């Protein structure tokens, strides 16, 4: 008998169910390999250290100073990143101008450049002599202000990478916003600057908060540029990422793992906050 159109034979349904089962088994097995690796690494860190090791590490004055410098530098770096990324992301999202592709490419360089190379480039920038003039020497002589191998170098190293991520976040934010409201405001007498300040900027608050959080998290994990450009002097330029390096170099593995777990905890908090921001944006 010829089956009625749209009717599926039970045997065909069973074959399809079996095929779907194999599909999900294969895809789940491949996908879970990376998730399993992350879970195993975290479990290994937790199994290696103890609560007492964690307390001992946090009681060290050097690590306490590193925590405070990390919080301060990440916050300043994130604020600077959003301050620069908001107008830059707006210009890239709204306007087409000669050399736009070049600007877009240059912004991505800190993202793809090896971290050590970025730190070396910053070091050369401040110490390169051109006709007897040097940026670091000029800052010291003019403003009595040291950048290299001091705390400002930590912020600058973090900012040089974090700002690139903030620009991407802000550009995406403005691209997803309808520019019609700004155009209407301009027909009513608003200038471009007023349309940006009073129309576009209030709508971009969610994106700015996301960019701030991403910048802060990226600054937290920065290591290579800080090590090369700011150094890892205890009680001076040491942050949590370089603390792990210093504790490893002195053979204090329990303290290194304890600080690593602290950074993991902070990263998880930041990621959860980002997920909540995304959920609010969808609503």
59-110 confidence digits (pLDDT tens): 999 999 999 999 999 999 999 999 999 999 999 999 999 999 999 999 999 9
Q: β-strand 133-134 against 129-130: which pairing, if any?
A: antiparallel
pLDDT tens, position by position, 3-34: 555 555 555 566 666 677 788 888 888 888 88
For 190, list phi and psi in degrees, rounded to 5: -70, 145
Would you kindly state where each structural domain of the chain is located, as residue ranges?
A: 1-48, 51-282
Residues 240 and 67: beta-carbon distance below 8 Å: yes
Rg (CA), the chain: 25
Distance CA(228)–CA(148), nearest Å, equals: 10
Residue tagged 């971290």 (tokens): 115
CATH homologous superfamily of domain 51-282?
MetI-like (1.10.3720.10)
Nearest Cα to 172, choosing from 218, 269, 80, 107?
107
pLDDT averaged over consecutive 10-residue blocks of the chain (283 residues)?
52 64 84 90 89 88 94 96 96 92 93 92 94 93 93 96 96 92 89 91 92 94 94 93 93 91 89 74 51
Long-range contacts of 123-128 (CB under 8 A, 24+ apart): 123/148, 123/228, 123/229
């Amino acid at each position: 008998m010829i089956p009625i159109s749209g009717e599926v034979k039970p045997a065909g349904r069973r074959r399809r169910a079996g095929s779907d089962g194999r599909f999900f088994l294969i895809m789940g097995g491949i996908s879970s390999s990376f998730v399993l690796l992350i879970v195993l690494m975290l479990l290994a860190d937790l199994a290696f250290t103890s609560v007492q090791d964690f307390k001992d590490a946090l009681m060290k004055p050097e690590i306490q100073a590193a925590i405070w410098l990390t919080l301060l530098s990440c916050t300043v770096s994130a604020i600077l990143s959003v301050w620069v990324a908001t107008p830059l992301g707006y210009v890239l999202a709204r306007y087409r101008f000669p050399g736009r592709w070049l600007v877009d490419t240059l912004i991505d360089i800190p993202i793809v450049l090896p971290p050590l190379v970025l730190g070396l480039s910053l070091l050369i920038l401040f110490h390169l002599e051109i006709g007897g003039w040097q940026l670091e020497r000029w800052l010291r002589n003019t403003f009595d202000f040291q950048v290299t191998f001091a705390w400002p170098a930590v912020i600058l190293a973090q900012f040089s990478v974090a700002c690139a991520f903030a620009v991407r976040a802000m550009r995406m934010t403005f691209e997803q916003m309808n520019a019609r409201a700004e155009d209407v405001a301009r027909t009513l007498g608003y200038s471009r600057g007023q349309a940006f300040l009073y129309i576009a900027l209030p709508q971009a608050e969610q994106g700015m908060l996301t960019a701030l959080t991403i910048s802060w998290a990226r600054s937290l994990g920065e290591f290579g540029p800080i090590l090369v450009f700011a150094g890892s002097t205890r009680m001076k330029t040491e942050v949590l990422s370089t603390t792990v390096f210093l504790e490893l170099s002195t053979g204090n593995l329990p303290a290194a793992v304890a600080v690593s777990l602290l950074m993991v905890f902070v990263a998880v908090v930041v990621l959860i906050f980002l997920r909540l921001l995304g959920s609010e944006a969808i609503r």
